[in-house]
Structure 1
Amino acid sequence: MTSRPVPTATEHGIDITDHDWWRSAVVYQVYIRSFSDGNGDGVGDLTGLRNRLGHLHELGVDAIWINPWYRSPMIDAGYDVADFRQIDPSFGDLAEAEQLINEAHRVGIRVIADIVPNHVSADHDWFHAALRDEPGAREKFIFRPGRGVDGAQPPNDWLSAFGGPAWSRVDDGSWYLHLFAPAQPDLNWEHPAVRAEFDDILRFWFSRGLDGFRIDVAHGLVKDPALPDAGAITPGTQHTKPHPAWDQEGVHDVYRRWRSVADEFDPPRVFVAEAWVPDNERLARYLRPDELHTAFQFDFLRAPWRAAQLRAVIDDSLDQARAVGAPSTWVLSNHDVVRAVTRYARSQPNHLIESEWDRARWAAEQPDLALGRRRARGAALLQLALPGTAYLYQGDELLLAEHEEIPHDRRQDPTWAQSGYTDVGRDGCRVPIPFSGDAPPYGFSSHEAVDPWLPQPQDWSELTVAAAEANPNSALWMYREALALRRTVFGGVEEGSADEIEWIDDSDGVLAFRRGRMQVWVNTGTHEIVLPAGTRMLIASDPTVTGQILPPDTTVWLVEEDI
């Protein structure tokens, strides 16, 4: 496996005095199992990531977020954590994690890791003790007697996010809660030992130089103590309706405590929340000055490629974040949702898009991937022009589409089995990314003959990093240029008016706004539009666009000329 040389410490480095870097950062998500395999076993690892720091440095990102790297049985790709203080051997070890943090810092890249506080692995020492019914052990989890004759029915009607009931029964007849897989028992966050344990985990990693954490299921943790029935859940409303397991008031006490831990360090460490809540007003509560720093704007990710819906999402997000003095955090793809190229490659509905809904229509509607890639390029320039922070998912810069044809016997996501083999789940967005070559593993692995942990498509040879490097019109070059321009053309408006935009056009299918002297025009419609006079184009999502005509499915950044 080859890679570009990483700049030396004397050429670059993070500015430790910049405590507000997170307000406008571009963060690259590293799904470590699928980023780069350094030891040739078919699974991405820390060696591979360290070898590819040059790619990330040249891309121009400010930070990386790494999915769980802790010791785990990997029932849910590492989100079932058995030991938060050890690196899983498939990825490396603690010393190499510390090396990665130091090497990334030397090239100006901060490092954010995933923390999974809602649940642990069934292989965690605490849960082993709970199954043995050691004194006090079960109180760290949520065990309850069942209902009905002999307690044979679950304690309530809650469902797992992966499908099926959210309760499993143990040998003595009691039930434990798992809002995800049965191998992921939920913790009881009312227990002081649970809160103290995570305080210590935060300090453990912050003291090793980690710059922050992405909080998995940040809206979970605290449940309604009565554990009432949730009632029937209409498909497509799981993120918009209240639920007694989600978004309870008690989570805010947890995050005030976490913020105080983060502020113990110099520079202060930061958090970004994965919080699926009914609306942006609820989301803003997580971003109050004494709680978390940022939270993903999932409505933006779920918005169809339609100007009216995009504008509504942007306005609502900016209004609510502004109310608590926080930046909005924009994301187009991640390891849990259908990739943007594929979402945009089919007809666009008039409602927000849930991945389960999207996957259910695949068989009935074939994708137009060329159209999806054109729209994804346009969406990327829109995302990077908005005030606040932006998260990129690995492979976005290559315009990777969802791998829809993974053989069923190769699927790894628990959703596949727990849905009764009706929902193929998230594997399609988690396929190892291609770096070079004409056939799998496309430079993903140091071993050319290895079969990656998830199979790659046979037609990715033109989507590798090497192929993109050779094509100045590629999305990779567009991303590099956009990230460099973002610092210069929008950097001057980050102070004082960082969250201010002025809408300048709302005609059918058009999204256009001004930030300072910059104008951003997005055409989601079906007809060309004429761009305003007195402006100069800096970048276009379609590299063939150079004049005053903006084609459909295209975004441009314009600068207003001095008159």
Structure 2
Amino acid sequence: MSWWQRAVIYQVYPRSFQDTNGDGVGDLEGIRRRLPYLKSLGVDALWLSPFYKSPMKDFGYDVADYCDVDPVFGTLQDFDRLLEEAHALGLKVLVDLVPNHTSSEHPWFLESRASRNSPKRDWYIWKDPAPDGGPPNNWQSFFGGPAWTLDEATGQYYLHLFLPEQPDLNWRNPEVREAIKEVMRFWLRRGVDGFRVDVLWLLGKDPLFRDEPGSPLWRPGLPDRARHEHLYTEDQPETYAYVREMRQVLDEFSEPGRERVMVGEIYLPLPRLVRYYAAGCHLPFNFSLVTEGLSDWRPENLARIVETYEGLLSRWDWPNWVLGNHDQPRLASRLGEPQARVAAMLLFTLRGTPTWYYGDELALPNGLIPPEKVQDPAALRQRDREPTAYHTLGRDPERTPMPWDASPYGGFSTVEPWLPLNPDYRTRNVAAQEKDPRSMLHLVKRLIALRKDPDLLYGAYRTYRAREGVYAYLRGEGWLVALNLTEKEKALELPRGGRVVLSTHLDREERVGERLFLRPDEGVAVRLD
């Protein structure tokens, strides 16, 4: 098996992990200093959200230089030191690759918009206005409003599926593809272990630029982009070829025991998601627990999701699971802490590679962001269009600083952080949970250690019959996992006796016969005889 199949991946949002220079924003040196914490947690790889040079219109997802570090995060030397020390601790490092768009301040775009005859004009997507002078078609931005902005100097519109300051690259142009592959080689030569590829399913666009049809699911209050079905801006057939080209670059640098991995951000239904395996993406992010599971937290729904996914995978495909990230509300706020603990047991005992979001090991809730402290450009842009909706659409609540201890500013910084700390940081922090043997932090450590059992790493998945409110499944020949998704005690008939090795309550390890009693909000892992 490759290392990434055995690994637990931990996402670090650099702005919010650790500030070392007193500006209230996390940096690479802060991540380096906290590497021992990640090692003690038991994770195998860290994924760093963007730290590239950027105007920060979308906090690094608007890249102005793919091959340099923004001063707010440090220097290339800081990155090299972080990478070296991570490797010395046995930790792999994945960096975010943002190939769909650049910053409007990137030299490529500045040259592209200089004139219609620019050598880089075709590096981006330019179109003449519609007959009425408006945008070329009805495509909408993820951040609200049309996905087109008029450049008055040249009289054409350019495409941006996100902010106007994030123009989309033209992946049909082979020069663009080669430029991105050279970016990949730059970081691979420095020693990174792979990439999480941003919005991988959006790289291709319809060459005819057809209007997208209206969505029957749209209703007032939903984002602008929900007005349409995205037949022409998502998951285009040529995208698979682009993925194969990127995979070839990773393979150039791979060697036995040191494979370089591609993790793809892809928000698609499972039958379409799994096609990206054959295209060469090692781990097309499976967000089905986030998009379908957490909103319908019932055993029948979870079993359906897992069985559907497992049934779609070929023998060569390796599954993966996610419960949260920098774009999604916090796990503990969606389920409450008791069920967040149960969800953690689910994530770490399913077959496949789990990705964990920083701070969820503390059961961090969504942050409380006063209107005057909102930072997220998506929220601010949406606020201008729908003043009552921006706070619910913003992503600031899941990006608040990591609370390390009860000191002022939570040990994250010596000054007021860029976003407020969680209100209960004086009691909900790493230092406090380290001292509490039944804390969420200790549960996550135990689950990560438990996952190293061969049956939990490699064993097949089978749904196990259970009573209403209980989701149970077998892993390999030796494990049964039973999750009580209710606030009531439940009983479960076991196939044979065994031993409760781990409870989400962290208060029992005991032999059981053929009948198991689950307390409210309890998950258990049973080693069967």
Q: With structure 1 as the length reference, what TM-score do the two structures score?
A: 0.86
Partner of 2:306: 314
Which moves more between the two structures, 426-435 or 454-463? 454-463
**Change in CA separation of 1:240 and 1:546 when aligned onto 2, cut-off 3 Å:** farther
- Superposed, 1:52-451 pairs within 5 Å as 52-133=34-115, 134-149=117-132, 151=133, 153-171=134-152, 172-233=154-215, 234-235=217-218, 242-265=230-253, 266=255, 267-277=258-268, 279-288=269-278, 291-302=280-291, 303=293, 304-321=296-313, 323=314, 325-344=316-335, 372-403=336-367, 405-419=368-382, 420=385, 421=387, 422-424=389-391, 425-439=394-408, 441-445=409-413, 447=414, 450-451=415-416
Partner of 1:537: 500
**Change in CA separation of 1:240 and 1:274 when aligned onto 2, cut-off 3 Å:** farther
Equivalent residues of 2:489, 2:517 under 8 A apart: yes
CA distance in 1, matches of 2:228, 2:358: 28
Question: Deviations for 1:325-383, whole angstroms, at most 9, x for unmatched residues?
Answer: 21111110100011111111xxxxxxxxxxxxxxxxxxxxxxxxxxx000100000011
Question: Deviations for 1:500-533, whole angstroms, at most 9, x for unmatched residues?
Answer: 2122224322111111201100111343122436
Equivalent residues of 1:71, 1:84 under 8 A apart: yes
Partner of 2:523: 555
- Secondary structure of the 1:148 match is coil
CA distance in 2, matches of 1:238, 1:541: 38
Which moves more between the two structures, 331-340 or 409-418? 409-418
CA distance in 2, matches of 1:535, 1:438: 45
Amino acid in the other structure paired with 1:377:
R
CA distance in 1, matches of 2:195, 2:461: 29
Identity of aligned residues (%): 40
Q: 1:471 aligns with which of 436, 442, 462?
A: 436
Query: What's the offset of the Cα at 1:554?
Result: 2.0
Matched, 1:33 2:11: no
- Secondary structure of the 2:63 match is coil
CA distance in 2, matches of 1:338, 1:239: 22
- Secondary structure of the 2:277 match is coil
- Superposed, 1:500-511 pairs within 5 Å as 500-511=460-471
Partner of 1:487: 452
Equivalent residues of 1:38, 1:51 under 8 A apart: no
**Change in CA separation of 1:217 and 1:472 when aligned onto 2, cut-off 3 Å:** same
**Change in CA separation of 1:239 and 1:376 when aligned onto 2, cut-off 3 Å:** farther
Query: What's the offset of the Cα at 1:544?
Result: 4.0
CA distance in 1, matches of 2:433, 2:227: 36
Equivalent residues of 2:405, 2:425 under 8 A apart: no
Question: Deviations for 1:531-561, whole angstroms, at most 9, x for unmatched residues?
Answer: 4361211111122456642123221100012
Q: Return 5+ residue gaps in structure 1 as ranges.
A: 1-18, 345-371
CA distance in 1, matches of 2:98, 2:245: 16
Matched, 1:524 2:485: yes
- Secondary structure of the 2:482 match is strand
CA distance in 2, matches of 1:70, 1:89: 9
Amino acid in the other structure paired with 2:481:
V
Amino acid in the other structure paired with 1:464:
N
CA distance in 2, matches of 1:285, 1:192: 23
Which moves more between the two structures, 537-546 or 192-201? 537-546
**Change in CA separation of 1:382 and 1:21 when aligned onto 2, cut-off 3 Å:** same
- Secondary structure of the 2:369 match is coil
Q: With structure 2 as the length reference, what TM-score do the two structures score?
A: 0.91
Partner of 2:513: none
CA distance in 2, matches of 1:250, 1:208: 30
Query: What's the offset of the Cα at 1:411?
Result: 1.0
Equivalent residues of 2:467, 2:491 under 8 A apart: no
CA distance in 1, matches of 2:356, 2:435: 22
Amino acid in the other structure paired with 1:280:
L
Query: What's the offset of the Cα at 1:324?
Result: 5.7
Amino acid in the other structure paired with 1:398:
L
CA distance in 2, matches of 1:22, 1:527: 38
Amino acid in the other structure paired with 2:138:
D
**Change in CA separation of 1:273 and 1:239 when aligned onto 2, cut-off 3 Å:** farther
- Secondary structure of the 2:483 match is strand
CA distance in 2, matches of 1:83, 1:407: 32
Equivalent residues of 1:24, 1:387 under 8 A apart: no
Which moves more between the two structures, 233-242 or 39-48? 233-242
Equivalent residues of 1:188, 1:194 under 8 A apart: yes
Aligned residues: 501
- Secondary structure of the 1:286 match is helix
Query: What's the offset of the Cα at 1:413?
Result: 1.0
Equivalent residues of 1:25, 1:388 under 8 A apart: no
CA distance in 2, matches of 1:218, 1:72: 20
Which moves more between the two structures, 408-417 or 67-76? 408-417
Partner of 1:15: none
Query: What's the offset of the Cα at 1:268?
Result: 2.8
Query: What's the offset of the Cα at 1:391?
Result: 0.4
CA distance in 1, matches of 2:402, 2:310: 33
Question: Deviations for 1:63-112, whole angstroms, at most 9, x for unmatched residues?
Answer: 00000011000100100001110011111111111111111011111000
